[in-house]
Structure 1
């Protein structure tokens, strides 16, 4: 039997790219296990000692993971330093021309420098702004160590901030929100006409909170406009996500038609609001009413009509005027990013190159009967199609090859959350619903599916050509050995072995890139309430699949002069 030269090449590529594209899977699993038990320092050691995370191509990933781990550990000052570096690198990579990407010089479309998903770059801004606020809230920089020289370490003691420094941190949060908005404007202009992540509801809602907290007349006007913008965003962008719209597939499939239809028709034909969407709109409307009463009281009737605000919402908004406590609830851990098997037909490739001399029909029959290459399951839908995203080529009705593309194992948001406040005697003094402002599982799922859909046709076509060459080589071996009729069985076995060996090398050279920011929460919630001066205990009450759980966040002291305080909590269970 003649083993074709490409076999050795694919075997080499298999060993190289397997370590690249799927590298870090072990570490990611360790990270996720450790953070679920709040072992943040141990998780940091994992990435600091990992060869994969130390690779130059994974620098952004390392910074994002470490920055969030430090944040989750309550080390906000250290986190801000790391995320500052991540933000600068992320923006630099974002503006890098595609023509300069390393992937154009290598065989594997799935492996490259980790540039970060657009939603990940956006979230760097969120956590950096949040770090500034939490540093201001606690009023100090935590004790930490810094490296000096090759092996030297210097201990930096805790430092209490002055009132001026605290205000500087608050203004830094505001500046971060403005930088965040600038990034999103660039993103929006570059992704016009596609139902993909190009704006961030979290930036609007959290940004509005920060402007409210700063409290100048200009900032209050900005906050009011941001809350109004959220209504538009829910129609123009967030109808793509299952947490907000039961018709999300239909929405994605028809997105390019929307500019001609207008918002009212889009809302009527392609959006069926979920309970999460309705609850969020109630929250937005309460904030709009509250701010309008403060800065534009005469506009209330107009606003009521424009946003269909009910009397109950107006009553609730008035009862909670000038709410002084904001709850930020980061829930769970973002779903896993995994390798998903995809299929691509051999039809077109079987007519080209190595197959031309043999004949497409002969080669296709040989591939099916002798090598066992069959069409995919009838239920198969290619990358991104299940979300309503368009896929360039779906030529999988005949003999097909399989390969991997990344996918987020998203199960959707399925909990309802409230904040419960109790006084020193344990009596409930306030209960308010929390609103879903960032379904990160949905956002990640669509972002990864979008990339997979764009890769599907290109990767599938390229691999089909390689597989056809391997099939042609196996066919040549089969024909040579089967000249002697007594060797028919061995001829088939030799051909199958030769093809499988080569195919394994091809497959391994195109492993799905499952790198991602794996320690993010699954979803983010916000809510506001008004509390008088006093000492309280704060809880999150969650309803999940018929079960109810109450989680203690911690104590809260509201001083007489408290105008705005932020309670940040992450649940990892």
Structure 2
């Protein structure tokens, strides 16, 4: 028995260390933009590091790496599989929750965080956008809207992540690209409202381009009242009558993916058995789990309320990202710099991840504490049987080992979509029709240059939008 428990704990700790090494290697490939190696390591580890329980993470990692590599069609296929699997796992978790309550979260198939399932569609929309399939991109945008409305119902309207301002902004760009100005204006107004009101997520300034774009579309639609309201409220100092639109100019919109998303760690607390047992009454169980709870109730009467056990919850912490912002320089065919612009923050994925987990942490705490209390009680019976004819030293040793094994199985579920970017920044440039070369300079918080990227022969057409994606994961 001693050897089995030691071996089990050893395997668990080894698995944690192996996963850390795996993601360090994968992120290194992504940072160096050796995407063929990133794709290769994901495929090599489809059954080893991912396996059946982590199949969703496999498809998420595969989808985003293909997106980074510019293989948009292949990325679409991977994300479609991820979305289908996430839906299946969600349905399964609802139907089996009560009967599998005592099974550790780490032993279940990972079904994804709420925000992760939404970002499948965010990046699908960007995939289609880069392929010029605007209608398909809008379908993905509508899926985001539907999922967020469903979350509001699930959380009773108490969740922080209720709307996605960036996705509304992107939706407006898609509508505007197709000259559907009324729908574009509605999307821009909703985006402005979310950036302005939800400061728990969007603590940064409303993108200036979004405000100016709203004015332009309002002018096109003849919405004088709305134009004046936006101009006055946000101190833009534009007059409706004198505002002119140059339809001969083209636009370049650049999306910059910076850094890596946060990752989860264990957050431990000590709970007395008396306090922990109070949570047991708030859970619903069925099948074998119900029999185990009934057995634990009988054992619990003999356990002192002041005895303590450890409980672990997941907590997101920021990745070690250096990159802070980007400067976009644009040169004409004679190598003259025609414009330079610093990127602005449009989507803070790191904060969304942290706040989304906080939205459901109360439910996680109740479940984890109740399950730990039940297992603590059941471990007493196991210990008693194993030490029935043992001396004091053996009883103490077995008790410690059973407790250690139980703690190892109750580690927090630290799985997440770790290859997402930390944030999405943007730049929007008004340019005369022509062919340009783009230079992107990536800086850290101390204004040290980290990386330079060049994109040549970017064609700008009159009255049209050109979209470009770049990234820096340092």
TM-score under structure 1 normalisation?
0.68
| Structure 1 position 445 matched with structure 2 position 393 | no
Q: Secondary structure at the match of 1:415?
A: strand
Of 26, 35, 38, which aligns to 1:40? 35
CA distance in 2, matches of 1:194, 1:478: 49
CA distance in 2, matches of 1:92, 1:479: 46
- Range 42-51 or range 182-191, more displaced: 182-191
| Structure 1 position 421 matched with structure 2 position 330 | yes
Aligned to 2:310: 402
Q: Deviation at 1:516?
A: 1.6
> Taking structure 1 as reference, are residues 227 and 512 closer, same or farther at Cα in structure 2, changes over 3 Å only?
same
CA distance in 1, matches of 2:397, 2:467: 63
Q: Summarize the alignment of residues 83-232 of structure 1 with structure 2, pairs less than 5 Å apart.
A: 83-96=79-92, 98-101=94-97, 104=100, 106-136=102-132, 169-215=133-179, 219-232=180-193
Aligned to 1:558: 459
Q: Summarize the alignment of residues 528-543 of structure 1 with structure 2, pairs less than 5 Å apart.
A: 528-543=428-443
Q: Secondary structure at the match of 1:530?
A: strand
Q: Secondary structure at the match of 2:410?
A: coil
Q: Secondary structure at the match of 1:80?
A: helix
| Structure 1 position 295 matched with structure 2 position 215 | no
Q: Secondary structure at the match of 1:324?
A: strand
**Larger of the two Rg values belongs to structure:** 1
CA distance in 1, matches of 2:245, 2:412: 53
Q: Cα deviations across residues 113-141 of structure 1 (Å, max 9, x unaligned)?
A: 221112111111122222222233xxxxx
> Taking structure 1 as reference, are residues 313 and 190 closer, same or farther at Cα in structure 2, changes over 3 Å only?
farther
Taking only aligned residues, the RMSD between alpha carbons, in angstroms, comes to 3.9
Q: Cα deviations across residues 172-194 of structure 1 (Å, max 9, x unaligned)?
A: 22333233333333333333322
Q: Cα deviations across residues 192-250 of structure 1 (Å, max 9, x unaligned)?
A: 322333322221111111111122xxx221111111112322355x3223xx33xxxxx
CA distance in 2, matches of 1:340, 1:200: 28
Is the Cα contact below 8 Å between 1:68 and 1:79 reproduced in 2? yes
Of 421, 444, 456, which aligns to 1:521? 421
Is the Cα contact below 8 Å between 2:442 and 2:472 reproduced in 1? no
Is the Cα contact below 8 Å between 1:279 and 1:435 reproduced in 2? no
CA distance in 1, matches of 2:433, 2:37: 39
CA distance in 2, matches of 1:92, 1:558: 43
Aligned to 1:240: 200
> Taking structure 1 as reference, are residues 118 and 462 closer, same or farther at Cα in structure 2, changes over 3 Å only?
closer
Q: Deviation at 1:408?
A: 1.6
Q: Deviation at 1:571?
A: 1.2
| Structure 1 position 343 matched with structure 2 position 270 | yes
Q: Secondary structure at the match of 2:265?
A: strand
CA distance in 2, matches of 1:530, 1:226: 21
Aligned to 1:330: 257
Q: Summarize the alignment of residues 252-271 of structure 1 with structure 2, pairs less than 5 Å apart.
A: none
Q: Secondary structure at the match of 1:278?
A: coil
Q: Deviation at 1:60?
A: 2.1
CA distance in 2, matches of 1:481, 1:172: 69
TM-score under structure 2 normalisation?
0.81
Q: Deviation at 1:288?
A: 0.8
CA distance in 2, matches of 1:357, 1:187: 42
Aligned length in residues: 452
Q: Deviation at 1:521?
A: 0.7
Is the Cα contact below 8 Å between 1:330 and 1:571 reproduced in 2? yes
Q: Cα deviations across residues 414-463 of structure 1 (Å, max 9, x unaligned)?
A: 83444322334544321234231211111112223444442223212332
Is the Cα contact below 8 Å between 1:14 and 1:507 reproduced in 2? no
| Structure 1 position 462 matched with structure 2 position 357 | no
Of 61, 75, 100, which aligns to 2:57? 61
Gaps spanning 5+ residues in structure 1: where?
A: 137-168, 246-276, 365-399, 483-490
Is the Cα contact below 8 Å between 1:406 and 1:449 reproduced in 2? no
CA distance in 1, matches of 2:25, 2:319: 21
CA distance in 1, matches of 2:470, 2:28: 19
| Structure 1 position 29 matched with structure 2 position 24 | yes
> Taking structure 1 as reference, are residues 323 and 287 closer, same or farther at Cα in structure 2, changes over 3 Å only?
farther
Gaps spanning 5+ residues in structure 2: where?
A: 279-296
Q: Deviation at 1:349?
A: 5.4
Q: Secondary structure at the match of 2:330?
A: strand
> Taking structure 1 as reference, are residues 313 and 296 closer, same or farther at Cα in structure 2, changes over 3 Å only?
closer
Aligned to 2:230: 304
CA distance in 1, matches of 2:329, 2:260: 23
Q: Cα deviations across residues 351-389 of structure 1 (Å, max 9, x unaligned)?
A: 97546447546xx4xxxxxxxxxxxxxxxxxxxxxxxxx
Q: Secondary structure at the match of 1:507?
A: helix
